[in-house]
């Protein structure tokens, strides 16, 4: 149940602000309301669900300021991670990065947003393992679920798949060249581009409403 609701929020099938009825979820999963409440409380701890007194649980809807703050922190953490990858990666590690990036290209060309998104998540997980800094990985993992929603929302914007895969290809070439400064700059720029896509989407939504 936690996984179903969590993935639904991440992939946008459950929209920000949408009410999560414990009665309907209990009926859907053929369970009592107690495990449903426990699941929603767990998702609240991860920042995916909002539970307020005397109100029904809702899908979390972070403010634009919270999104911007999250991305600025993530931008610097990932730039450090890219620098460490260059310093720590073996030739075999870099070959694996190339294989995964080639897969991302195929998915992007096919317009497969969800498939691309989860493959990109796998790539970043692999890169952080290669970076070899357990504290950095712990900090990124602590932000993981909150940022997954935002990252998927960014990739869903028009033109973002193409931009994203081109960023990954440039990063791969920086890893091949063992250029730590370039890799860090490219990673920071890629993260900033994702934020800009979300900001544009937020502005368009605000204009329509």
DSSP of 9-72: HHTTSS-TT-B--HHHHHHHTT--HHHHHHHHHHHHHTTSEE--TTS--EE----HHHHHHHHH
Look-up: residue for tokens 């060309």? 109
Query: DSSP readout, 98-124?
Result: HHHHHHHHHHHHTT-HHHHHHHHHHHH
Domain count within the chain: 2
52, 79: one domain: no
Residue in the block written with tokens 């935002």: 150
Does 154 share its domain with 195?
yes
Query: pLDDT value at position 81?
Result: 97
Whole-number pLDDT of residue 111: 94
Q: Are residues 39 and 124 in the same domain?
A: no
CATH, residue 32: 1.10.10.10
Print pLDDT tens along the chain (209 aa): 566 777 787 777 787 788 887 778 778 777 777 777 877 787 787 777 888 877 888 887 878 898 899 889 999 999 999 999 999 999 999 999 999 999 999 999 999 999 999 999 999 999 999 999 999 999 988 887 778 887 888 888 888 999 999 999 999 999 999 999 999 999 999 999 888 888 887 776 655 54
Residue 207: per-residue pLDDT? 55
- The whole domain housing 32 covers 2-59
Q: What are the C-alpha distances in Å from 126 to residues 63, 82, 93, 123, 205? A: 30, 11, 9, 5, 35
Given this model, what pLDDT does residue 150 score? 79
Domain co-membership, 72 together with 55:
no
Q: Measured at the alpha carbon of residue 126, what is the angle toward residues 124 and 130, in degrees to the nearest 5?
A: 115
């Amino acid at each position: 149940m936690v996984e179903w609701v969590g993935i639904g929020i991440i992939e946008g099938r459950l929209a920000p602000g949408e009410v999560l009825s414990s009665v309907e979820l209990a009926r859907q999963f053929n369970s009592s309301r107690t495990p449903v409440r426990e699941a929603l409380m767990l998702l609240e701890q991860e920042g995916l669900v909002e539970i307020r007194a005397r109100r029904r649980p809702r899908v979390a809807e972070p403010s634009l300021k919270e999104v911007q703050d999250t991305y600025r922190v993530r931008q610097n953490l990932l730039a450090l991670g890219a620098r460490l990858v260059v310093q720590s990666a073996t030739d075999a590690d870099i070959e694996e990065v190339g294989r995964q990036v080639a897969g991302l290209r195929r998915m992007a060309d096919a317009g497969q947003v969800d498939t691309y998104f989860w493959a990109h998540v796998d790539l970043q997980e692999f890169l952080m393992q290669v970076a070899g800094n357990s504290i950095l990985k712990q900090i990124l993992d602590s932000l993981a679920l909150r940022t997954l929603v935002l990252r998927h929302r960014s990739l869903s914007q028009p033109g973002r798949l193409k931009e994203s895969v081109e960023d990954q290809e440039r990063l791969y070439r920086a890893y091949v060249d063992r250029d730590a400064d370039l890799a860090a700059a490219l990673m920071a720029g890629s993260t900033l581009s994702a934020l800009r896509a979300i900001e544009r989407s937020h502005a368009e939504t605000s204009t329509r409403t």
